[in-house]
Structure 1
């Protein structure tokens, strides 16, 4: 255990979903640009 955090972006459930700190459902091609824009706007 190295205190790593897990973020999952996926359209369907995965076996690691229960371990994820953040779980985003959807197409990564749609979600990642939105996250990037939010970070750049801060």
Structure 2
């Protein structure tokens, strides 16, 4: 259950970053990767 909520949060963050950067999802994923990695390492 906790893992699912974490995945939902990650998906929401990726979606938000994609929105902020426009509709270029490739750029959004590249920007989200280091962010998600640091988030994972912290938790």
Q: Same fold (TM over 0.5)?
A: no
TM-score (normalised: structure 1): 0.36
Structure having the higher helix fraction is 2
Report which of the two structures shows the higher radius of gyration computed on alpha carbons.
Answer: 1
TM-score (normalised: structure 2): 0.36
